[in-house]
């Protein structure tokens, strides 16, 4: 499902064993994200880490 969303948005990404590293635009600026998924009792937990913040993000947006 994660790959379907990334493909649908035409996001460039690399598949790792446990994470996906994706390059996408945020506010018109390139950013790099790490995405991982883990099955939980109540569903799938997604974790997104901003590896390379873009310019224009507020302090809160970078967290």
Residue with tokens 């064993």: 17
Q: Can you give the pLDDT at residue 61?
A: 57
pLDDT tens digit sequence for 22-34: 998 877 778 899 9
- Expressed in angstroms, the distance from the first to the final Cα of the chain is 25
What's the CA gap between 36 and 48, in Å, rounded?
Answer: 7
Break the chain into its structural domains and give their ranges.
2-54
Please classify residue 56 by burial: count the beta carbons closer than 10 Å to its beta carbon, then call 0-12 exposed, 13-18 middle and 19+ buried: exposed
> Which residues of the chain fall short of a pLDDT of 70?
53-63
Instruction: Give pTM, 2 decimals.
Output: 0.71
Q: What's residue 41's pLDDT?
A: 94
What pLDDT, on the 0 to 100 scale, is given for residue 29? 76
């Amino acid at each position: 499902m994660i790959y379907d969303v990334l493909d649908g948005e035409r996001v460039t990404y690399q598949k790792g064993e446990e994470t996906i590293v994706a390059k996408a635009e945020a506010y018109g600026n390139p950013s790099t994200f790490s995405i991982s998924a883990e099955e939980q009792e109540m569903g799938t937990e997604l974790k997104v880490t901003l590896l390379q913040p873009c310019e224009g993000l507020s302090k809160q947006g970078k967290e």
